[in-house]
Structure 1
Amino acid sequence: MNIQKLKYFIAVVEYGTISKAAIALNITQPPLSASIKSFEEELGVDLFNRVGKRMHLNTTGELLYERGKELLASTEIITQEINEHHQGQRGHVTIGCSTIANLTIIPEVVHYFNKRDIPITIHVKEGNAAYILDQIRHHKLDIGILRNVFNKEDLHTTALLSERLLVALPPSHPLAGNTSVTLDELKDEKFFLQHTTFGHGISDDILEECYLRGFNPNVIYWGTETLPMLSMVKRGMGIAFCPEAFSKLEGFDPPPLLELSDPVINTKLNLVISKNSVKKAATEHFIKVTKEILKDMDTH
């Protein structure tokens, strides 16, 4: 299979028309059209249904498009690993995660690699779940570290760590000196909740438990990051919920954090990879080390 023609075919599919693909590829339309036709002849199949000048991807084309993306991703990984080996490097891995994971987990992995002189470069992109999953699907990220729960056939999810959910109260709150609090005791408070961009998240669990107890919480703020919420809670603006990891965050002085005793809600940290991609050696190593570190964290 001609890789260049495969790239042209994928470009036509993704840009929708020959003309748009030609502009993106910086070539003229006639040679691109000829390349697509030649590609079909080499394969012995039609990839598009043609009606006049319009082209619509058929089921055979859809199969080639999906498998072709996997093939191109694999060839890019092979090329990258060969270049890194030639340059004396061990490789690199690209991670998508939240800010808290970048402040707690990633530093431990970097420390592990540094201590053992393992030359793996870690590229981190912070973002919400929807962004990270989209980047994984398009092979822009090797790994995602997320708390959201979801079930997708093209993604493989592994639970890494289970943490108890804590409640953040203003320092002047009457219950701030307690070690625990129930959800019923918070029904008249102003809630700060995490916006779920994909799947089932922390806020979904909290809202479900509120409804089960017969009240609708007064949510005055929705956000994608927990740290800004904790800062506002500290200023007395309302209450928030966070995993235990925030109580162990170095260099951050949080508001009073109490255990939520009724109901007890646990939140899981998940590692997500694409089922349709070839894992690099560096990615495999990162996953192995991360699992070891989080297993150790879970036992302490």
Structure 2
Amino acid sequence: MNEHRLKCFVAVYEQGSVSAAATRLHMTQPPLSILLRKLEDELGVTLFDRSGHRLVPTTTGELFYLRAKALLASLQTMRRELREAEQGARGSVRIGCATAASLFVMPDVMQALEADGLDITIHVQEGEAGHMLQRLRERGLDLVISRSEYATPELETRVILDEPLCLALPPQHPLAGRDRVRLRDLRGDRFLLHQSPLGTGISDMVLRACQNAGFVPNVVYWGGETLPMLLMAHRGLGVAFAPQSFGRLATGLPPLVALEGVQLRTHLNLAWPRQYPLTPTAARVRDLIVERFG
């Protein structure tokens, strides 16, 4: 049994005669009659009662018509879905995201997918940059968006979000309320910094800038996420640093202040494997991210 035989049976059923069905199918009547007989022999059932002048579907034929129509519709849907998958318009993509990427990149990505009518499901995994990159190398992830900077021959990278690094002061800090603050004025403060186990990141910039300002900061906390450090700064536990985009978040966090006399910028990097091709769907999402943010 193949698709052509199913279509022929459906045509005969719906037209009520072999001759009318043959016209609809653009074929002659004898081959169509032979095809019907072969279909019945293959199935081992009688699909039509041929005792009168018209072909009358049997009870089995009625059931087979319902199943044949459903199967033909399913085949049509499958072909459409396969074409969409081939074009990157359908499927799923696994993305490793830094928290900032989940907050400030992925909402725009999801909005763009919906606006373009793409049937793409995004699976996001948040975690430490080194672990996510290892998952990328093992093909457990398709893309990674991380703040760490790294140069490795097996990965392609693209900067997708570049912004200033700002300062978060405790509410009772002597410098609170200022629009700009110099690093050297923080010499006696407790620092809450990001740890950078892979490549270079925010803490590397801050430590280098402090050294250029003539002091080594008193780091009392090393963390992997920006939000907890902002909450700690709000409780008066130290000064923290955050990309400017975090200033768009809800109240309850300390205001972000510009750094004076030093230009510190941080960015999110999109990474994907160089040694093997992305799926069409992953490539489409990558291109969408680069187009909107790169």
Name the TM-score, length of structure 1 as normaliser. Answer: 0.67
Query: Given that residues 184 and 214 in structure 2 are in contact (C-alpha distance below 8 angstroms), is that contact kept between their aligned partners in structure 1?
Result: no
**What SS does the corresponding residue of 2:277 show, helix, strand or coil?**
coil
**What SS does the corresponding residue of 1:241 show, helix, strand or coil?**
strand
Partner deviation per Cα, 1:101-146 (whole Å, 9 max, x = no partner): 1122101111111223211110100011101110111011111111
Partner deviation per Cα, 1:233-282 (whole Å, 9 max, x = no partner): 00111100011110123x35320210112211011211111111211111
**What SS does the corresponding residue of 1:209 show, helix, strand or coil?**
helix
Matches within 5 A, 1:69-84: none
Residue 111 of structure 2 is matched in structure 1 by 111
Residue 276 of structure 1 is matched in structure 2 by 275
Is 2:224 the counterpart of 1:227? no
Is 2:191 the counterpart of 1:191? yes
**What SS does the corresponding residue of 2:105 show, helix, strand or coil?**
helix
Matches within 5 A, 1:204-223: 204-223=204-223
Alpha-carbon separation, structure 1, partners of 2:233 and 2:119: 41
Q: CA deviation at 1:213?
A: 2.1
Alpha-carbon separation, structure 2, partners of 1:193 and 1:104: 21
Letter in 2 for 1:101: A
Matches within 5 A, 1:1-300: 85=82, 90-249=90-249, 251-294=250-293
Partner deviation per Cα, 1:67-116 (whole Å, 9 max, x = no partner): xxxxxxxxxxxxxx999628987111110011121122101111111223
Partner deviation per Cα, 1:205-243 (whole Å, 9 max, x = no partner): 111111222211000000000100100100111100011
**What SS does the corresponding residue of 2:203 show, helix, strand or coil?**
helix
Seen in structure 2, the aligned counterparts of structure 1 residues 215 and 280 have a Cα distance that, compared at 3 Å, is same
Query: Given that residues 145 and 272 in structure 1 are in contact (C-alpha distance below 8 angstroms), is that contact kept between their aligned partners in structure 2?
Result: yes
Partner deviation per Cα, 1:39-94 (whole Å, 9 max, x = no partner): xxxxxxxxxxxxxxxxxxxxxxxxxxxxxxxxxxxxxxxxxx99962898711111
Letter in 2 for 1:176: A
Letter in 2 for 1:215: F
Structure 1 unaligned blocks of 5 or more: 1-80, 296-300
Taking only aligned residues, the RMSD between alpha carbons, in angstroms, comes to: 2.1
Letter in 2 for 1:275: R
Residue 50 of structure 1 is matched in structure 2 by none
Alpha-carbon separation, structure 2, partners of 1:84 and 1:154: 32
**What SS does the corresponding residue of 1:92 show, helix, strand or coil?**
strand
Alpha-carbon separation, structure 2, partners of 1:82 and 1:170: 59
Name the TM-score, length of structure 2 as normaliser. Answer: 0.69
Alpha-carbon separation, structure 2, partners of 1:252 and 1:146: 25
Query: Rg bigger for which structure?
Result: 2
Q: Aligned pairs, how many?
A: 214
Letter in 1 for 2:102: N
Query: Given that residues 137 and 274 in structure 1 are in contact (C-alpha distance below 8 angstroms), is that contact kept between their aligned partners in structure 2?
Result: yes
**What SS does the corresponding residue of 1:200 show, helix, strand or coil?**
coil
Query: Given that residues 170 and 256 in structure 1 are in contact (C-alpha distance below 8 angstroms), is that contact kept between their aligned partners in structure 2?
Result: no
Query: Given that residues 156 and 274 in structure 1 are in contact (C-alpha distance below 8 angstroms), is that contact kept between their aligned partners in structure 2?
Result: yes
Partner deviation per Cα, 1:181-214 (whole Å, 9 max, x = no partner): 1111111110000011200111011111112222
Alpha-carbon separation, structure 2, partners of 1:84 and 1:101: 29
Query: Given that residues 143 and 270 in structure 2 are in contact (C-alpha distance below 8 angstroms), is that contact kept between their aligned partners in structure 1?
Result: yes
Seen in structure 2, the aligned counterparts of structure 1 residues 285 and 252 have a Cα distance that, compared at 3 Å, is farther
Letter in 1 for 2:180: S
**What SS does the corresponding residue of 1:279 show, helix, strand or coil?**
coil
Letter in 1 for 2:157: T
- State which drifts further: 239-248 or 112-121: 112-121
Alpha-carbon separation, structure 1, partners of 2:223 and 2:99: 13
Letter in 1 for 2:176: A
Query: Given that residues 166 and 241 in structure 2 are in contact (C-alpha distance below 8 angstroms), is that contact kept between their aligned partners in structure 1?
Result: yes
Letter in 1 for 2:82: H
Letter in 1 for 2:143: I
Query: Given that residues 168 and 257 in structure 1 are in contact (C-alpha distance below 8 angstroms), is that contact kept between their aligned partners in structure 2?
Result: yes
Alpha-carbon separation, structure 2, partners of 1:143 and 1:84: 23
Letter in 1 for 2:220: I
Alpha-carbon separation, structure 1, partners of 2:172 and 2:277: 53
**What SS does the corresponding residue of 2:82 show, helix, strand or coil?**
helix
